[in-house]
Structure 1
Amino acid sequence: MASGRSAVRLTERELDDFLAANLKVQVATVGPDGAPHLTTLFYTLVDGRIAFWTYRSSQKIANLRRDARISCLVEDGTEYAELRGVSIQGTARLVEELDEVRALGTRVVSAMAGGADLGELGDQIVDGQARKRVGVVVEPVKVASWDHRKMNGALPRHDNGA
């Protein structure tokens, strides 16, 4: 029987399902002074990799142009015994060709809308936004995952007095 960190690690299938089921990712880039720059974004998966779009003039894009290192965190759960997450360290591949940015943006916005077709108006909005944005695909170097629901003797839930 596995113990410690290996006991709570997500299987490859669990990891894929977890990333596919979530929408938000915390993204850290390296700021100009070397300090982390942290933000939260909506994402989609492209060939199993986290991908998002953001404004071309954003601090994270300026950081990634200077230093392509990126860390991402997708997490879930409220109580300790429910915590699940995936931490990815990697490099960012910038997507700047307009049609590719538009396609990525369509996927992100559709995911935000619960997978719905955006319709003509939604397509027009994405098209206008794509001209101002850059796509980012995270190329993983190191992946860590955990699912505390797999722990034996997990801590009891907190009683918040409700």
Structure 2
Amino acid sequence: MPEQLRPQRRSRRVAMAPDEVDAYLAEQRTCRVATTSEQGPHVTALWFVWHDRAVWLYSITDSQRWVDLNRDPRVAVLVDSGHDYLELRGVEITGTAEVVGEVPRTGADQPELAEPEALFARKYFDLDAMPYDGRHAWLKVTPNKIASWDFRKMRG
């Protein structure tokens, strides 16, 4: 993680505190991942876990996202929710993606992946251990900026 995250400048009144960001990202299931392809912006929805102040993505290794991030590791990740205006909440993370572990992931011992894989297996598969399919590998997104909003804070 960078020495210090760039501070959020706008909308501080509705910004989430770090513990609120942690709780929100732990409960949400889907993020949008924005990369830059040779043709321009590319956005996909993906499952994720938030661990140790980083976004962990279990990505298909022959996806456009994987190609993009291997060419240019800069990435934006958006997680948002809410229907009515005063329910809107979200977190936008900009940072750098790096491959962690084997490609594709087959389950070889990788201590850095133990906790993200346990979280992912429980969150999405209701399992204690991660299932491997020989098509996915891990990307760790280290934030350089986190912007958040919780419009519920605007209620009188």
Could you tell me how far apart the structure 2 residues matched to 1:14 and 1:106 are? 22
Match of 2:127 in 1: 117
TM-score, scaled relative to structure 1: 0.77
SS at match of 1:7: coil
Label 1:69 to 1:149 Cα distance change in 2 as closer, same or farther (>3 A).
Answer: same
* Per-residue CA distance 1:39-86 (angstroms, 9 max, x = gap): 001111231311111111111010001000000001111001100000
Match of residue 87, structure 2, among 66, 82, 89:
82
Gaps in structure 1 of 5+ consecutive residues: 154-162
TM-score, scaled relative to structure 2: 0.80
Q: Structure 1 segments of 4 or more deviating over 6 A? A: none
Match of residue 53, structure 2, among 48, 60, 81:
48
More helix by share: 1
SS at match of 2:92: strand
Comparing 51-60 with 101-110, greater Cα deviation is found at 101-110
Aligned length: 140
Gaps in structure 2 of 5+ consecutive residues: 1-9
Matches within 5 A, 1:30-49: 30-33=36-39, 35-49=40-54
- Contact 1:15–1:86 (CA<8 Å) still a contact in 2? yes
Matched, 1:145 2:124: no
